[in-house]
Chain A
């Protein structure tokens, strides 16, 4: 359904939104900018401390386990799976938003369902990884891993890892809660009564943001 506006529309002259969006979406964009600064501050802090240290543990050695695989050495395989799951949940979110554009309630319900499953699966993976690390005696203030050169590492490797992935996990958790609410509202037909699926778009913005942040978190902690 294409909406038509006059070609000589004066967007900034008042009386309407200059971006042709309602206020909620504008707020979501500004919130995401704000949140990006929170994550940015965390990751820059991490970089500052890491580059002022002489050496740092090797992620290929730390993150080399996989559930039910015993002591098989599979560096970064599990976290790749986690990343894949999260990115797939972004894909299903795109499909939910697209269905919303077509006012296709069934499509929205279906794709929101898979997005929620993706989010929960990611959280489950993170829970497993944290538990696994905890059993290796890694926690805030405790770091069992040595630096790549064999020297004693400071605890800041685990400190930052748990703080930042924890903060990201908290965002994923909030995202899942939002998505569940959106799922229920779509399922009950609330958006059909409103006549539009804009709230799905806003939830989508948040969800994609959480995914995008993960790409940076993943890069900083697992790849470098």
Chain B
């Protein structure tokens, strides 16, 4: 604070680390089991909490899909084991229609929100942001801890809905009213739906607390020299993800509050002119609009797709560049396309509603905006491919999953162009084509991004490596399995096979797919089994994996690899390293990589 310009009345705020949370500076302070593993305020532990909770949800959500795939693949057979797991929901070994819909609904809810949002950006935003920008911890470690515990509470409430007498919510993960608003409409719309809304509201709070932290940490807490354009792409991606979450989840919350009033306070926000067949009554509700809920839902629902996808994109960029031993191609274009996707994410929600009675003229506007997303997406794909081009590729498990992500993102993205056209959507809407599209581009691709992140950063998380043999089996079976499951579904969808039917065998037109459905169900079970192997690998390697002996096992440029192999709370003993260059100096001037902490040599070539 020497002489110079006089700024407005605030004291100059230095926010790296010294100013607040002095207690984190010393990481040898007393830690009990509770403060270290349970109510931890260390971002690395919170990341692991998010990851393991997400993995438990991942297994549950995957198991649900195996159970309902049994029904779709083998509608005429019964499986006595199901009765042992599900009791009266699978009398005689055949799941009931209510159970089927509950499973489909919870599969979607759990995987979209609890695994690929909480488990993915919760894990990697927490783990990577402070380590890669050079901060001791998040801006507010306390709110960060609360973010996890709101997520945990949401998980418990959502899980408890499986055990109420009328079962969990069963009206689809999109929870459209009137089905979701009227308890008499289906068993799942009774207590199960109240628990569903409560859990989702808690989830929104968790996401908000996390998101505010991620944003202010990235903006405020970067170490000296770490300008925004020196940030690794992971951080840019996680930053935009947080912005999307902070701005779109509140709209969903509003929608849910109105839904809650419709359920319990006799209001008619979403309800009008309804005759209830189950009670043979005409309802008094007048003047509401079910479409209104769809708007509110999809104003979150579409950005949510990118909340899921952007962290995967960021990690894939980082891992591809590191393991091609080449700088990422088009860094600024990558940042720009992330930004463009984040903006467009807010302007395309109605493409989910082309056949809901939306004004066709409005639909055409949304077609245009939707197809615009192809531009930044294509920029990213070409940049990834160009990064790989003539690279010195190391096929680590993380790298394989990163390459797999690019493949899946292309395959799933191309079908998005079909669906983005409102005229084609009239035919394709609510068919298996949609199911195939979003499972590949958002579901499996993001899972690949997540696996890529886990395999790449596991050594940083636990100081040990995952088992490579199991990792390669995991990759190849999942990769081939994902295409075997979802590729054929496109054909079924084009032939008009609708989603969400309990039994297709009674339709002559869909009977032709019965063998295909058996095949898909079988592959789904194999892929699920391989994920269990991954889970085993994960927990086995935490304790028994090969130990990491060098600080920087992947030869990476970024800051997290300058921290000790098992960093304590505070990440770096002594001073936080200063940054002198961007994150992608690979293969420069005859050197394999130059860490961000190395000062720029005057003789160095320019990038």
Contact = CB atoms under 8 A, between A and B. Distances in A.
Contact of A38 (B1, B139, B253): B253
A150 interface: no
Contacts of A8: 4
A34 B227 contact: no
Chain A CB count within 10 A is highest, among B208, B220, B247, for B220
Interface in A1-23: 1-10, 12-23
Contacts of B251: 37-38, 40-41
Given A45-B296, A154-B286, A159-B261, A27 B139 contact: yes
Contacts of B299: 41
B602 interface: no
Interface string B214-248: 01110111111111101000000000000000111
| Contact-residue bracket for chain A | 35 or more
A163 B261 contact: yes
Interface string B124-145: 0000000001100001100100
Nearest to A142: B266
B357 interface: no
A70 B269 CA distance: 33
Given A31-B212, A34-B246, A5 B220 contact: no
B224 A14 contact: yes
Given A4-B1, A20-B13, A30 B216 contact: yes
Contacts of B248: 37
Contacts of B247: 33-34, 37
Nearest to A35: B250
A156 B288 contact: yes
B13 A22 contact: yes
B224 A140 contact: no
B15 interface: yes
A19 to B, nearest CB: 7
A41 B250 contact: yes
A21 B267 contact: no
A224 B429 CA distance: 39
B2 interface: yes
Given A38-B253, A155-B268, A163-B261, A27 B15 contact: no
Nearest to A158: B267
Contacts of A40: 251
Question: What's the dominant secondary structure at chain B's contact region?
Answer: loop
Interface residues of B, number: 66
A45 B216 CA distance: 31
B216 A41 contact: no
B267 A14 contact: no
Contacts of B286: 154-155
Given A15-B222, A22-B19, A7 B254 contact: no
A15 B14 CA distance: 7
Interface in A27-74: 27, 30-31, 33-35, 37-42, 45, 48-49, 52-53
A106 interface: no
A22 B17 CA distance: 11
B440 interface: no
Contact of B140 (A16, A23, A154, A160): A23
Contacts of A26: 139, 215-216, 219-220
A23 B250 contact: no
A49 B288 contact: yes
B439 to A, nearest CB: 29
A5 B266 contact: no
A20 B215 contact: no
A205 to B, nearest CB: 14
A21 B139 CA distance: 12
A49 B267 CA distance: 13
A192 to B, nearest CB: 15
B574 interface: no
A85 B12 CA distance: 36
A2 B9 contact: yes
A187 B409 CA distance: 58
Contact of B7 (A5, A27, A38, A48): A5
Nearest to A159: B267
B255 interface: yes
Nearest to B264: A140
Contact of B268 (A1, A101, A159): A159
A196 interface: yes
A167 interface: yes
B6 interface: yes
B4 A45 contact: no
B13 A16 contact: yes
Contacts of B143: 27
B603 interface: no
Given A14-B223, A16-B12, 11 more contacts: A4-B1, A6-B2, A6-B5, A8-B4, A12-B228, A15-B16, A18-B220, A27-B139, A34-B208, A34-B250, A45-B254
9 contacts: A3-B11, A4-B7, A8-B4, A12-B228, A13-B226, A27-B139, A33-B246, A38-B250, A156-B288
Interface of A: 1-10, 12-24, 26-27, 30-31, 33-35, 37-42, 45, 48-49, 52-53, 101, 140-142, 154-156, 159-160, 163, 167, 196
